[in-house]
Amino acid sequence: MIWLSWRQFRMPLLVVSTLVVASCAWLAVTGPALARLARRNVDVYDLLTSTDKLLFNGGVVVLAVVPAVIGIFWGAPLVARELETGTYRLVWNQSVTRVRWLAVKLGFAVLATAVVVGILTAAVTWWAHPLDGAVGAQRGSLVSRLTPISFAMRGFVPVGYAVFALLLGTAIGLVVRRSLPAMALTLAVYVFVQIAVPLWIRPHLIPPTTATVTIAQKTLDGISADGSGPFQIMVRARHRGDWVLTNQTVDSRGRAAALPSWFTTCLPAPPGASGGADRAEVQSGRDRLDACFTRLTDEGYRQRLVYQSHRIFWRLQAAETALYLLAAAGLGAFSLWWTRSRLS
Amino acid sequence: MSAVVAARGLGKRYRRRWALRDCTLEIPAGRVTGLVGPNGAGKTTLLSLAVGLLAPTAGTIEVCGGRPAAGAAQLAKVGFVAQDTPTYAGLTVAEHVRLGAHLNPRWDDAAARRRIDRLGLDPRQKAGHLSGGQRAQLALTLGLAKRPELLVLDEPVASLDPLARREFLQVLMEAVAEDQISVLLSSHVVSDLERVCDHVVVLVDSQVRVAGDVEALLASHHRLTGPRREPRTLPADQHVVWDSHTDRQSTYVVRTDAPVLDPAWSVTPLGLEDLVLAYMEGVSPPAPASPTLEAIS
């Protein structure tokens, strides 16, 4: 059975392994230079070439796509193709029970997936490590590793995604019994899960920290107005790598509140709006802003931050990986049960 | 020897349609049994139940003394050549043999290689590039090299040209003679079975119309032609299988153990094909599987 699994799997494995090795080689060539750059410079972002940034974002994209590709091209046809071409009637009548047949097939595919995706993720994580969360002195930044998109492409959580995608594909293929619809359905379900988890589940996997911050110029991140709506204040996270879930203004009773109406008129004109901005004008603007913030604080307004600290990165990785592996185990058990009792 | 396949009240339902219903039969060991019936009679369903690809909705089936596909040991006892003889298109002939060797404890590797050699199959050829006949031969080779107690074949020759059919059945018969295995094969072409079977089961609408040793069946069935006569005027020991009447003449196919003595009849023996067709077309209620015809000992 192991020989057959290997024989049926070696071509797709060879293709994917080649791609992974090629990617790793490319990362290995460009990686050390980046690390040196980052060690010597605080503002590494400003020194990056556009190729570096492309590679950084490319790594994110590749790791986002690989688990889905594995689910679609390894998982969905794993059993569906046998059902489709009728070869299950050949292999199920050798002296191996079909549960064992599927278990070995799945075990092989899971192992291959974990190794391939594990290596690729480790390589990308290592490569991107000096760049994660790099911020330019003036403008521009790269996402830090705890932000939803980047988090999913670092550490070991992609292994969980890939194993989940593989077993999701297998289970859907088993039920649908046709490769192509199973592939499409696998992609749809996987994409949905990948959107739903960072949106609704990941923020609560580990209880987030809540902090109340006084609004002042040194804590301010920005003031924004969406269209004609009221102004909104955002304050800075404690640490650049924190993942901010909520950033809202609360009143003296601790309830979310809109900014008072006087605030809009209190604000100074943006510097430079009235033409040549001399130093005195900027300074008077700052003073007015300070006055506005002081009045806000006196009236009891504070800014509430709910965030995940950058320190929990690995704990959150472990929790989310466990969640996905648990779901994958459930799908695997379902597949075995379905093969034994429903596929007849 | 006892029955190699024993079904009791066996039924299989797909959603709301019964593919096989209330099927009771016994197939003796050590024989080559032909399962005949029109398309849709439930042959494939019955065979799939026998090898455990399907699970019964109702009733029981026992094969080689065990529940089909109940475990590795049971699977090893039963070989199966499925309809359209599926093989892995991407695997070579040699790799199929290797597959069999890896997956079967009683595998006869030397015999498999010998057979491939004799068939003139190129071991390096991908199965997807084989002709229908060659693929069927490969599937048969896998089924035989497994050295099962019972080999089940589902319409093995249906898609083959006459020459390939003859070769296939010849290889099958040689192997049966060598290995002393029981064979159960289905076909809707009776002439194929006539050459190879010594036992036959006629399945119509999932009911066993008749089952018995070919020789005994042929000896006990007669075609009677003579002046018009109503069925009820026939002697009690002559069971009408099939009848046809014109204004003046009647033709009957009857089953009887006693010789037909009535001088009004012209009595002709039946070939297996005529006999099977008579049962398939037979308007009379299904004849009970008479113990006198079933040479099960």
Nearest CA-CA distance, residue A82 and chain B, Å: 9
A318 in contact with chain B, both atoms CB, cutoff 8 A: no
Please tell me which of the candidates B76, B88, B98 has its beta carbon nearest to residue A87: B88
Please tell me which of the candidates A87, A95, A100 has its beta carbon nearest to residue B105: A95
Write down how long chain A is.
344
- Chain B residues 72-91 with a CB less than 8 Å from chain A: 72-73, 75-76, 78-80, 82-84, 86-91
Can you tell me the ipTM of this complex? 0.86
**Per-block average pLDDT, block size 10, for chain A (344 residues)?**
88 90 89 80 75 81 88 93 93 93 94 94 88 70 79 90 96 95 96 93 90 83 72 81 86 82 75 61 80 86 88 92 96 95 72
pLDDT the model gives residue A277: 58
For an interface test with B, the pick among A14, A94, A337 (most B C-beta atoms closer than 10 Å) comes out as A94
pLDDT the model gives residue A138: 62
| Contact criterion met (CB below 8 Å) for B3 and B27 | yes
Residue with tokens 């849709």: B40
* Main-chain phi, psi angles of A220, to 5 degrees: -70, 135
pLDDT the model gives residue A273: 55
Residue B296 within a domain = no
**What average pLDDT does the segment B246-261 reach?**
89
A100 in contact with chain B, both atoms CB, cutoff 8 A: yes
Asked if residue B109 and residue B196 are part of one domain, the reply reads yes
Nearest CA-CA distance, residue B90 and chain A, Å: 8
Compute how many other C-beta atoms are within 10 angstroms of the C-beta atom of residue A191. Answer: 11
> Does residue B187 surpass a pLDDT of 50?
yes
* Mean pLDDT of all residues belonging to chain B: 88
Q: Express each pLDDT in B91-110 by its tens digit.
A: 999 999 999 999 999 999 99
* DSSP single-letter state for residue B167: H
Asked if residue A235 and residue A189 are part of one domain, the reply reads no
Contact A93 B80 (CB under 8 A): yes
Structural tokens at position B88: 């892995």
Domain limit, last residue, from B174, B205, B236: B205
Distance, C-alpha B64 to centroid of its chain:
16
Between residues B38 and A317, which one has the greater pLDDT? A317
Residue A23 within a domain = yes
> Does residue B293 surpass a pLDDT of 60?
no
Please tell me which of the candidates A87, A96, A344 has its beta carbon nearest to residue B103: A96
pLDDT the model gives residue B295: 42
CA distance linking residue B14 with residue B20, whole number of Å? 10
**What average pLDDT does the segment B219-226 reach?**
92
Residue A254 within a domain = yes
Between residues A22 and B39, which one has the greater pLDDT? A22
Asked if residue A129 and residue A91 are part of one domain, the reply reads yes
CATH number at residue B179: 3.40.50.300
Please tell me which of the candidates B69, B90, B98 has its beta carbon nearest to residue A3: B98
Please tell me which of the candidates B75, B88, B100 has its beta carbon nearest to residue A97: B75
C-alpha to C-alpha distances, B241 to A264, B24, B193, B246, nearest whole angstrom? 101, 20, 21, 17
Nearest CA in chain B to A99: B71
Under 8 Å CB pairs connecting chains A and B tally to: 74
Sign of the alpha-carbon dihedral angle for B255, B261, B264, B267: positive
Instruction: Round the CA-based radius of gyration of chain A to a whole number and report it.
Output: 26
Contact A89 B98 (CB under 8 A): no
Contact B99 A94 (CB under 8 A): yes
**What average pLDDT does the segment B210-214 reach?**
90
Reference B47, options B143, B173, B170; nearest CA is B143
Position B172, amino acid: L
C-alpha to C-alpha distances, A248 to A210, A214, A251, A302, nearest whole angstrom? 11, 12, 10, 9
pLDDT the model gives residue B296: 42
Contact B72 A8 (CB under 8 A): no
Nearest CA-CA distance, residue B55 and chain A, Å: 6
Structural tokens at position B117: 């050699």
Structural tokens at position A3: 């020989």
Domain that residue B65 falls in: 3-205
Residue B210 within a domain = no
Asked if residue B14 and residue B40 are part of one domain, the reply reads yes
CA angle B199/B200/B205 to nearest 5° reads 160
Across the beta sheet with B221-227, what order do the strands follow? B239-245, B249-255, B221-227, B266-269
Reference B270, options B215, B213, B203; nearest CA is B215
CA distance linking residue A231 with residue A248, whole number of Å? 11
**What average pLDDT does the segment B63-76 reach?**
92
Asked if residue B172 and residue B245 are part of one domain, the reply reads no
Asked if residue A223 and residue A94 are part of one domain, the reply reads no
Nearest CA in chain A to B69: A97
B98 in contact with chain A, both atoms CB, cutoff 8 A: yes
Asked if residue A230 and residue A328 are part of one domain, the reply reads no
B44-49's contacts with Cβ under 8 Å and 24+ in sequence apart are B44/B83, B44/B154, B44/B155, B44/B186, B45/B12, B45/B19, B45/B20, B45/B206, B46/B7, B46/B10, B46/B20, B46/B186, B46/B203, B46/B206, B47/B80, B47/B152, B47/B154, B47/B184, B47/B186, B48/B154, B49/B7, B49/B10, B49/B12, B49/B20
Residue B288 within a domain = no
* Main-chain phi, psi angles of A86, to 5 degrees: 85, 0
Helices A179-196 and A157-176: crossing angle, nearest 10°?
A: 140
Asked if residue B273 and residue B197 are part of one domain, the reply reads no
CA distance linking residue A139 with residue A135, whole number of Å? 7
pLDDT the model gives residue B46: 93
In chain A, DSSP assigns E strands to 209-213, 220-225, 231-235, 243-250, 302-308
B104 CB neighbours in chain A (<8 A) are 94-95
Residue with tokens 């605030």: A263
> Does residue B230 surpass a pLDDT of 70?
yes
Asked if residue A119 and residue A219 are part of one domain, the reply reads no
The count of domains in chain B is: 2
The count of domains in chain A is: 2
Nearest CA in chain A to B105: A95
- Chain B residues 231-270 with a CB less than 8 Å from chain A: none
CA distance linking residue A343 with residue B268, whole number of Å? 50
C-alpha to C-alpha distances, B163 to A65, A114, B133, B134, B160, nearest whole angstrom? 53, 51, 9, 12, 8
3-state SS class at B240: strand
Please tell me which of the candidates B51, B88, B102 has its beta carbon nearest to residue A93: B51
For an interface test with B, the pick among A1, A83, A87, A95 (most B C-beta atoms closer than 10 Å) comes out as A95
* DSSP labels, A242-271: -EEEEEEEE-TTS-B-PPPTHHHHHSPPPT
* DSSP labels, A153-203: TSTTHHHHHHHHHHHHHHHHHHHH--HHHHHHHHHHHHHHHHHHIIIIIHH
Domain that residue A75 falls in: 2-204+312-342
| Contact criterion met (CB below 8 Å) for B34 and B201 | yes
Nearest CA in chain B to A343: B54
CA distance linking residue A142 with residue A57, whole number of Å? 9
**pTM surpassing 0.90?**
no
Asked if residue A215 and residue A320 are part of one domain, the reply reads no
Contact B72 A97 (CB under 8 A): yes
Residue B89 within a domain = yes
